[in-house]
A and B are shown apart, each in its own frame.
Chain A
Amino acid sequence: MRGLASVSKALDVLALVLVLAAFWLVLYHAPTERTMGDVQRIFYFHVPSAMMAFLGFAIVLVASIGYLATGGRGWDSTAQAGAEVGLLFCTITLLTGPVWARSAWGVWWTWDARLSTTLILWLIYVAYLALRGYMAEDLRMRRFSAVLGIIGALDVPIVYFSVRWWRTQHPTTFIMEREGLHPAMAETLRVSMIAVLLLFVALLLKRLMLERIRLTAEELRGEIETLEMEPPMGPADAGGAR
């Protein structure tokens, strides 16, 4: 636990430094995009966040399968942390997207394939966390949320295809085409991706550690309660209570 804590601290510092560096690069190093102008700069955080959202949800899938296969509590905590941190980045994606879209497309929101897919994903994982929140914390809750985690992930490819067929006329990856990307832009994107990834890992680790502390505290509380409940007079009057 001690070692993990220092790893987590180091990660925090590293993530902070890199995020700040990425900010600087985004503002001063990357050239202004010709047609979209300065607003395109939001892209350097938007894209990595979207990737982290998907990574978080992939973690939920893997950890849910892991939990059902082994029953280890660590898997369940990992799925929970993945969902929470993934949802955070999904929210960031959904918030930064419209800011850009407003000036590029003239509307805050459009029912384009990517946007819709992200929105549905967001809803699925809100549902996942809602289920966890509404159930008493026990074996069943862990098992049920693992089932939902798997179902939700199974739905992702379906969401993707169905929304893509629905909206085929959307502008696709306009900036990721390799030849169109200015070298300074590519460098900036690379740094901001690493920065956001580190931030993701740092948050995930924090959440996992917090959960572990919480579980330990709960265990200790349970132990104290059983100690307090033990009959002080011995077995002689244990039967008389009922």
Chain B
Amino acid sequence: MIPYLDAVLAVVRKDLLSEWRTREAAGSMALFSLLVVVIFGFCFETQRIDLENLAPGMLWVAFSFSGVLGLGHSFSSERVRGSLQALALAPVDRSAIFLGKMISNLLMLLFVEALTLPVFSILLHVPLLGCLPALAVVAFLASVGFTAVGTLLSALAASSRMREMLLPILLYPIWIPILLAAVRATGGVLAGKELADVAGWIRLIAAFDLIFVTAGLLLFDQILEE
């Protein structure tokens, strides 16, 4: 097969395998996401959760919070036994490493989102079954953008003194516009609209994805260079 793709898949496999053996990140991400939903359940009157305004915000806050946990882990775990240096030494294009890390982060986040959705739906009385396909599209696209910027910034934050604290500070301001788009699109979808009705937001998210995946591919080289 194409060597570039091989390298990407090798990184994805490595990440997922080590995750499968240690079960460090996905488990705590899912648990954290669940906790956020439960906290919302206690903080707000669940009978009166507004489908178009409140519910999508809660959902995306849960995703963003647990997502940052996973992203932080993604590179701090690489630092432990110098495996990041080993990765950097691999005779492959650096952008392949970025893509691999990004895809494994994305898969983990999507897994957590898939676990969160039913719990969210049941605990907060938000009917999701009818709009699941449209919701999946929105969640997938926004998660791509989130992990693209997040992977890049996580690599960046991992070598600072404040690691876990710094990542959300760096990530959230950049993520806000797309969080906004995702929340609006999700709100539309939950209120029973078709995907075509929220096409503007979807397009904006797609543009963000495109810009930041490209930026990640181009700039990752600068971060990994030791």
Contact A134 B178 (CB under 8 A): no
Chain A residues within 8 Å of B204, by CB? 158, 161-162, 165
Answer whether A143 and B207 are a contact pair too, CB < 8 Å, given A120-B177, A127-B169, A155-B174: no
B180 touches A124 (CB 8 A): no
Known: A143-B225, A158-B208, A165-B200. A152 touches B215 (CB 8 A): no
CB <8 Å contact, B174 and A131: no
- Mark B125-162 against chain A: 1 for CB-CB distance below 8 A, else 0: 00000000000000000000000010011001101111
Interface size class of B (residues with CB under 8 A): 20 to 34
Contacts of B47 in A (CB 8 A): none
Indicate if B12 sits at the interface (CB-CB under 8 A). no
Which residues of the partner chain B approach A155 to less than 8 Å between Cβ atoms? Answer: 173-174, 177
With A159-B176, A165-B204 known to touch, is A144 a contact of B169 (CB < 8 Å)? no
Encode contact with B along A152-168: 1 for CB under 8 Å, 0 otherwise. 10110011011101100
Min distance, Cβ A200 to any Cβ of chain B, angstroms: 23
Asked whether any CB of chain B lies closer than 8 Å to the CB of A238, the reply is: no
- B201 contact set on A, CB distance < 8 A: 165
Chain B interface mostly = helix
Min C-beta distance of A49 to chain B, whole Å: 20
Q: Report the minimal beta-carbon distance from A102 to chain B, rounded to whole angstroms.
A: 25
Chain A: which residue is nearest B145 at the CB level? A158
Q: How many residues of A contact B (CB 8 A)?
A: 29
CB-CB under 8 A from A127, the residues of chain B are 169-170, 173-174
Contact A120 B176 (CB under 8 A): yes
The contact of A135 among B161, B207, B211, by CB within 8 Å, is B161
CA distance A155 to B215 in the complex (A): 11
Dominant secondary structure at the A interface: helix
A60 within 8 A of B: no
Q: Are A166 and B215 in contact (CB under 8 A)?
A: no
Residue of A nearest to B171 (CB): A127
Taking a contact as CB atoms closer than 8 A, the residue among A134, A150, A151 that contacts B166 in the complex is: A134
Q: Which of A68, A131, A151, A166 has the most CB of B within 10 A?
A: A151
Bound together, the chains give a CA A162 to CA B201 distance in angstroms of 8
* Chain A, 79-100, CB within 8 A of any chain B CB: none
CB nearest to B163 among chain A residues: A134
Given A144-B223, A154-B215, A155-B174, are A162 and B180 also a contact pair (CB < 8 Å)? yes
Could you name 8 residue pairs across A and B whose Cβ atoms are closer than 8 Å? A124-B173, A127-B169, A127-B170, A130-B170, A131-B166, A147-B152, A158-B177, A161-B177
Task: Report, nearest first, the 3 A-B pairs whose CB atoms are least far apart.
Answer: A123-B173, A162-B177, A124-B173
